[in-house]
Amino acid sequence: MSNILEILKKTEAVLTDSHFVGTSGRHMSIYVNKDRLLTHPSETEEIAKLLAQTNKDLDVEVVAAPVVGAVILGHLTAQHLSKMQGKEVLSVYADKTDEGPLVFKRGYDELIKGKKVLIIEDTIATGLSIHKMIDAVKEFGGHIQGLSVIVNRVPKEITSQTLGFHFNALCEIPAETYEEKDCPLCASGIPINVKVGHGKKYLQAKGLI
């Protein structure tokens, strides 16, 4: 875990002491900015190799990831798994929809149907996004063999037991998240960060910027 944290800190992918808004709309003081990690090819490659290593014993035919940030991780993980397992492991990704659910398009729906799938994601902050991915894989007929992430921020809520299948995270960075009405950062008047995370969209939706 220490090596993972060193990589995340080196690439400035872990940010603290600010007021962030996550994908779910919940507020937090710690944010894992995977976009910073992905600008560093060598470090991204190293983490993808570790994701593959932790799942090398799973029987996997397809690696699936949600857009946008996890697509690169999923692709590289599939590449490393292919080498480790001595067979081709395909890489596909799920698209967002205006209605909310994730979907497999571009012909990926046929590639995932009936196949053994490993889901790759960068961070679990609340569990909302990853459950959309799980639902998408099941909806399109994939058989989930496991789920692997770089960072699990809710280690008490997201486990192999709660998910019902194999799960692992390269590291855990527990952090509290809040609804706006319960947010101590809001109560303290700390401005929402509009450069990182979903703070800008959040404020735009409220007509504040």
Give me the count of residues in the chain: 209
pLDDT digits (tens, 9 = 90+) for 124-169: 988 888 999 999 999 999 999 999 999 999 999 999 999 999 999 9
What residue type is assigned to position 177 of the chain?
T
Specify the number of domains making up the chain: 1
Residues 55-114 have pLDDT tens digits of 999 999 999 999 988 999 999 999 999 999 999 999 999 999 999 899 999 999 999 999
Q: Side chain identity at 31, as an amino acid letter?
A: Y
pLDDT for 9-49, tens place per residue?
Answer: 899 998 888 999 987 889 999 888 888 999 999 999 999 99
Bond from prior residue into 68 cis (ω within 30 degrees of 0): yes
Q: How many CB atoms lie within 10 A of CB 138?
A: 12
Nearest partner of 128 among 47, 23, 44, judged by Cα: 23
Dig out the tokens for 126 from the structure: 């609340």
Which of 62, 162, 37 lies closest to 120, judged by CA?
62
Residue 29 lies in domain: 2-205
User: By the 8 A CB rule, do 142 and 117 touch?
Assistant: yes
| Model confidence at 51: pLDDT above 80 | yes
Q: Is the pLDDT of residue 2 over 60?
A: no
Q: Helix H segments across the chain?
A: 2-10, 34-38, 41-54, 70-85, 108-112, 128-139, 160-163, 184-187, 199-205
Q: What is the pLDDT of residue 174?
A: 86
* CATH code for the domain of 87: 3.40.50.2020
What does DSSP say about strands 90-94 and 62-66: parallel, antiparallel, or unpaired?
A: parallel
